[in-house]
Amino acid sequence: MSLGEFDIIARYFARKTERGDVLLGIGDDAAVLDSQPGRKLVVAMDTIVEGVHFPVETDAADIGYRALAVNLSDLAAMGAEPAWMTLSLSLPRANEQWLSGFASGLFELAKDYNVALVGGDTVRGPLVITVQIAGWVENDGWLARSGAKPGDLLFVSGIPGEAAGGLAVVQRRIMGGEAASFLKHRFLRPRPRIELGRQLRNFATAAMDVSDGLLTDLKKLCAASACGAQLNVDALPESLAMRELFEADDCWQYALAGGDDYELLFTLPPERAAALRTLQLQQRVTQIGVITADASVVPLLEGQPFRIKRGGYDHFANPNDVG
Ligand code: ADP
Ligand code: MG
């Protein structure tokens, strides 16, 4: 690379951290981190690929933000508090403007959650970014996908579907004033639900983050918990911005099958619902269904099975497909 690997790291990524638990950070062969008794380490990794996880023309700062956001979302789903990350960066070329934008988006979000970048790897190749994130939970206080029980209520945070609507806005170059830019922002800058995940530790029986589409991910939660679910489509939180740009049926399709929400999907027994409402929740949550004993996952609209046109992210990746 023209700029040189060492210069890239020194100029854009080797930053001082306030975290006292980073004993040795960037610059040596490995990082040395202080662990503490009574806590459990929680580790996750997510890779984003240009043209697959974000459109080719995405702004570098948005890519940097997203690379960390998708990882923080995994820690949120575990009820963990983030602490450290490593970054593997594969770049086609060393473009200083791009690097500076990327680093600004990455560190903007890192600062919000006091995450220190403690190491990584930098290579030449197609644009692929991997972040590994580590954080901790107290004792055995983590959330898992596997604890849902028949009769539990099913909740989702935020408004699923807005991010997929935002991607459609980008791909189809929909002009729609404020609603369009709001949805675009929801796609480009997903807010990880770290605080909510922390708050749910003593409430939720199961939790996961929604990244591949609400219905697909609900099936994963149900499989892990050996149960099923009934999802009430009419209970889904409505988005004014979505309603402004899309037909009602498409709004539901995006909410159930669109990806990139990075909201939390969780379950809890009915007797805990009142206590949940007394919490000062950091995020709006909506009850969208119940967990059932039989293994099927059924979306219902006015009591009738609701038909998904096609599942998952691909449905919305094809600009000629919907709407
Ligand atoms: P090594 O060859 O020993 O793996 P490198 O030359 O690849 O070391 O990296 C030197 C230091 O810079 C290491 O501490 C490594 O973790 C860090 N590093 C490399 N790339 C990145 C990156 N993209 N972000 C953060 N730290 C990085
Ligand atoms: Mg080395």
Q: What is the mean pLDDT of residues 34-43?
A: 93
- Give the closest residue (by CA) to ligand 1 atom 24: 120
Long-range contact set of residues 166-175: C-beta below 8 Å, sequence gap at least 24: 166/260, 167/55, 167/258, 167/260, 167/316, 167/317, 168/246, 168/254, 168/316, 168/319, 168/322, 168/323, 169/245, 170/55, 171/55, 171/317, 171/319, 172/319, 172/323, 174/245
Give the ligand whose atoms come closest to the C-alpha of residue 27: 1
Strands 39-49 and 81-91: unpaired
Query: How many angstroms does the Cα of residue 53 sit away from the middle of ligand 2?
Result: 30
Q: With 60 as the cut, is the pLDDT of residue 1 above it? A: no
Residue type, 267: T
Determine the atom of ligand 1 nearest the C-alpha atom of 119: 16
- What is the structure's pLDDT at 315? 38
As a whole number of Å, the end-to-end CA separation of the chain is 44
Q: What pTM value is reported for the model? A: 0.92
The helix/strand/coil state of 168 is helix
Query: How many angstroms does the Cα of residue 131 sit away from the middle of ligand 2?
Result: 19
Strands 297-301 and 228-232: parallel
Render pLDDT for 258-276 as a digit per residue (tens, 0 to 9): 999 999 999 999 999 998 9
| CA 54 and chain centroid, separation | 14
Confidence at 4, pLDDT banded by 50, 70, 90:
confident
DSSP H or E segment with residue 24:
strand 22-24
Q: What is the mean pLDDT of residues 242-246?
A: 95
Residue type, 56: V
- What is the structure's pLDDT at 283? 86
Query: How many angstroms does the Cα of residue 49 sit away from the middle of ligand 2?
Result: 26
- Give the closest residue (by CA) to ligand 1 atom 20: 121
Query: How many angstroms does the Cα of residue 10 sit away from the middle of ligand 2?
Result: 15
Q: With 80 as the cut, is the pLDDT of residue 229 above it? A: yes
- What is the structure's pLDDT at 2? 63
Tell me if 168 sits within 8 A of 285, measured CB to CB.
Answer: no
Q: What is the mean pLDDT of residues 169-183?
A: 90
Mean pLDDT for the chain? 93
| Helices and strands in the chain: count of H runs, count of E runs | 11, 13
Give the ligand whose atoms come closest to the C-alpha of residue 5: 1
Render pLDDT for 192-227 as a digit per residue (tens, 0 to 9): 999 999 999 989 999 999 999 999 999 999 999 999
Query: How many angstroms does the Cα of residue 84 sit away from the middle of ligand 2?
Result: 19
- Give the closest residue (by CA) to ligand 1 atom 6: 6
Confidence at 312, pLDDT banded by 50, 70, 90:
very low
Give the ligand whose atoms come closest to the C-alpha of residue 26: 1
- Pocket test of ligand 1: the residue of 47, 86, 122 to mutate, having most ligand atoms within 8 Å of its CB, is 122
Confidence at 280, pLDDT banded by 50, 70, 90:
confident
- What is the structure's pLDDT at 210? 97
Q: With 80 as the cut, is the pLDDT of residue 185 above it? A: yes
The region of weakest confidence among 88-102, 104-118, 300-314 is 300-314
- Give the closest residue (by CA) to ligand 1 atom 5: 121
Q: What is the mean pLDDT of residues 46-61?
A: 93
Query: How many angstroms does the Cα of residue 36 sit away from the middle of ligand 1?
Result: 25
- What is the structure's pLDDT at 88? 98
Q: With 70 as the cut, is the pLDDT of residue 124 above it? A: yes
Q: With 50 as the cut, is the pLDDT of residue 134 above it? A: yes
Spatial distance between the Cα atoms of 319 and 106, rounded to a whole number of angstroms: 29
Q: What is the mean pLDDT of residues 138-145?
A: 92
Residue type, 83: A
Residues with CB under 6 A from ligand 1: 9, 13, 26-29, 87, 89, 117, 119-122
Length of the chain: 323
